[in-house]
Structure 1
Amino acid sequence: MGPFFYLLFLVSCHFLSISAAPPVAPPKLDEACNNVGGWYVTPQLCHSVLDTDPQSQNADLKGLAIIAVNIAAGNATLVLADMKQFLQATSDPIQQKALQTCVQVYTDIIPKLKVAAESIKNNKYSEAGTVLEAALGVPAKCDDATGNYPTIRAMVDKVDVSFSNVASVARAVVGYLTNYYSG
């Protein structure tokens, strides 16, 4: 009977250790998305942007910030392509000038966003935050340039709202990262 009780004891200990295991920590993605509200980004918006990159499911907070900035750079590239199409589609020189402003502000922000991702990699979070603050102003500059042309403004709004959303999420995640590591 001795070996049987010893085996029963080992099996019982094994099951107790499984049930007493600490709960699994929530993924950094959920943590980040649930804590960026101070930047007026809802968890749903955060997830809708970051969930587009499958790597975000396993990334740490720094990785999420890099992913968010890269998503913003990618989105800015898509918006830039749309702006160039809008520009080619109009023959009105005044409207062309307005759209050239849009093309220019998106052209200018894309390399800065790529630098921001590198800044995060090098733990220069405030530098990345500064770039993202500038990125948040890009759609407004485009809107100001096209404001007198309702047809163009409507086309521009359809594409630069998406950039505004992803830039907001990127800024919020980088802000959370900055606070997380400085606090």
Structure 2
Amino acid sequence: MTASSSPLLPALLLLLIVFVDGGSGAEAKTALDQLCGSLGSYYVTPDLCASALCADPSAPCRAARDAPAVAALAARLAADNATAAKGSIEAALSLAGSAGGAASAMRSCLQLYAGAVPALRWAARSVAAGRYRGAREVLQAAQYVAAGCEGMAGDAAALPRENGRFSDMAFVAHAVVASMSRD
């Protein structure tokens, strides 16, 4: 009996194909899924990462072709979220008037965002160009903007919800960019 006529050969080939292919029943993982899954659940969970980066259903978050594209998306979204939070705080301040402790806290918070937005725009451009040094540090510092605002306001509920959204985005963006720049 030759190897080509053995009844076991087709079965072994099929088994080898299934083993190498992984069964083809699993969904193909996107670059976003892979990067979010590699951050370490003790730091940023895959769910938090994906939900922050895919919060806008019209944005093609899972279309990023590789990890650098996911990092560029994260940095851009951090800058966009900071800009939205700044605008919301400006609007809340104009409605609240200029007197009182809440207005004073919001003005101070607004100063934090006024400094953070240009730095985050620079960081987003740097990450998009593949330069992570400096951008990582900007994103790390940005994580404290929302918390600083909460501390000044004395109550997170006194601030627009965009402050909390920015907090999550800054945390995720820092984790994503830091994963790209392990010096």
State the TM bucket, normalised to the shorter chain.
0.7 to 0.9
Q: Does 1:156 align with 2:159?
A: yes
TM-score by length of 1: 0.76
CA-to-partner distance for each residue in 1:137-163, whole Å, 9 max, x for gaps?
10122122111xx5xx41316331111
Instruction: Letter of the 2:107 partner, please give it.
Output: Q
Q: How far off is 1:112 after superposition? A: 0.9
Q: How many residues align?
A: 161
Q: How far off is 1:105 after superposition? A: 1.0
CA-to-partner distance for each residue in 1:21-46, whole Å, 9 max, x for gaps?
86697322111110112672111111
Mark the runs of 5 or more structure 2 residues left unpaired by the alignment: 1-13
CA-to-partner distance for each residue in 1:29-88, whole Å, 9 max, x for gaps?
111110112672111111112223305423311111110011111111111111112211
Q: Does 1:141 align with 2:148?
A: yes
Match of 2:105 among 89, 98, 104: 98
In terms of fraction of residues, the more helix-rich structure is 1
Query: What residue number does 2:31 align with?
Result: 28
Query: What residue number does 1:67 align with?
Result: 73
Q: Does 1:79 align with 2:115?
A: no
Q: Please, what is the CA RMSD of the aligned residues?
A: 2.5
Aligned-pair identity (%) = 33
Q: Which runs of 4+ in 1 moved over 4 A?
A: 19-25
CA-to-partner distance for each residue in 1:73-104, whole Å, 9 max, x for gaps?
11111111111122112233432221101111
TM-score by length of 2: 0.76
Query: What residue number does 2:3 align with?
Result: none
Match of 2:52 among 38, 45, 49: 49
